[in-house]
């Protein structure tokens, strides 16, 4: 089975597996969004379809009131019909665009991931979160770099004091992506 799970020293369970994130029952699921929260394709489209019209409606309302999100920005809506309580919409860097490649893009994703985990724990009071491989699909970040960045961020967050989160699930519908993440998370122990 294409999966991996371990517990960090601070007691956070981290898992990586093949699956459809719209079916997850964690307090929060994360959406890989664009800055206008137009949930058309990729995981955003899947979440919008499975969660019902409410999600796009809340998202559009958010943009009308607050304007577009910046790259690396986040906001949240309810989970609509999904099992999760909240969805965090996170805008990853587009690989290769406007300097968002190599080091800069990677650091943007790294900071975004830390912000997502902190926001889930501190603002939404979540204990559990499911997250897709942000930026690795339509936004084109190479899978190994995406996986390495996730690994660094998950380690940094889950080994800090009093994280609030007890469970982080990295869920992907694509077997190649899951393979790359398992290789990264296993390889570095």
* Residue 3 dihedral angles phi and psi, to the nearest 5°: -160, 160
Stretch that binds ligand AR6, among 3-11, 30-38, 74-82, 158-166 (CB under 6 A): 30-38
Spatial CA neighbour of 83 closest among 137, 167, 168, 20: 20
Stretch that binds ligand AR6, among 66-74, 79-87, 104-112, 126-134 (CB under 6 A): 126-134
- Of 77 and 172, the one with the shorter C-beta distance to ligand AR6 is 172
Beta bridge partners of 90: 32, 74
- Of 46 and 124, the one with the shorter C-beta distance to ligand AR6 is 46
Site string for ligand AR6, 160-179 (x = CB under 6 A): -----------xxxx--x--
| The residue to which tokens 């609030």 are assigned | 164
* 129-148 positions binding ligand AR6, by CB under 6 A: 132-139
Q: In what order do the strands lie in the sheet with 167-172?
A: 3-7, 13-18, 167-172, 128-131, 28-33, 86-91, 74-78
Structure tokens at 67: 């304007």
Is 24 a residue that touches ligand AR6 (CB under 6 A)?
no
Under the rule (CB under 6 A), what is the footprint of ligand AR6?
20-22, 32-34, 39-44, 46, 92, 132-139, 171-174, 177
């Amino acid at each position: 089975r294409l999966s991996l799970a371990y517990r960090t020293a601070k007691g956070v369970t981290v898992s990586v597996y093949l699956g459809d994130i719209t079916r997850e029952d964690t307090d929060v699921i994360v959406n890989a969004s664009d800055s206008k929260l137009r949930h058309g394709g990729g995981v955003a489209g899947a979440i919008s379809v499975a969660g019902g019209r409410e999600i796009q409606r809340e998202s559009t309302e958010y943009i009308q009131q607050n304007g577009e999100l910046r790259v690396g920005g986040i906001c949240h809506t309810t989970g609509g019909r999904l099992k999760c309580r909240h969805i965090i919409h996170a805008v990853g860097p587009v690989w290769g665009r406007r300097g968002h490649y190599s080091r800069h893009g990677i650091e943007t994703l790294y900071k975004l991931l830390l912000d997502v985990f902190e926001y889930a724990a501190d603002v939404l009071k979540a204990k559990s979160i499911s997250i897709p491989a942000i930026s690795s699909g339509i936004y084109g970040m190479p899978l190994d770099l995406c996986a390495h960045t996730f690994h660094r961020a998950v380690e940094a967050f889950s080994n800090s004091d009093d994280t609030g989160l007890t469970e982080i699930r990295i869920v992907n519908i694509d077997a190649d992506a899951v393979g790359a993440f398992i290789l990264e998370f296993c390889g570095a122990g």
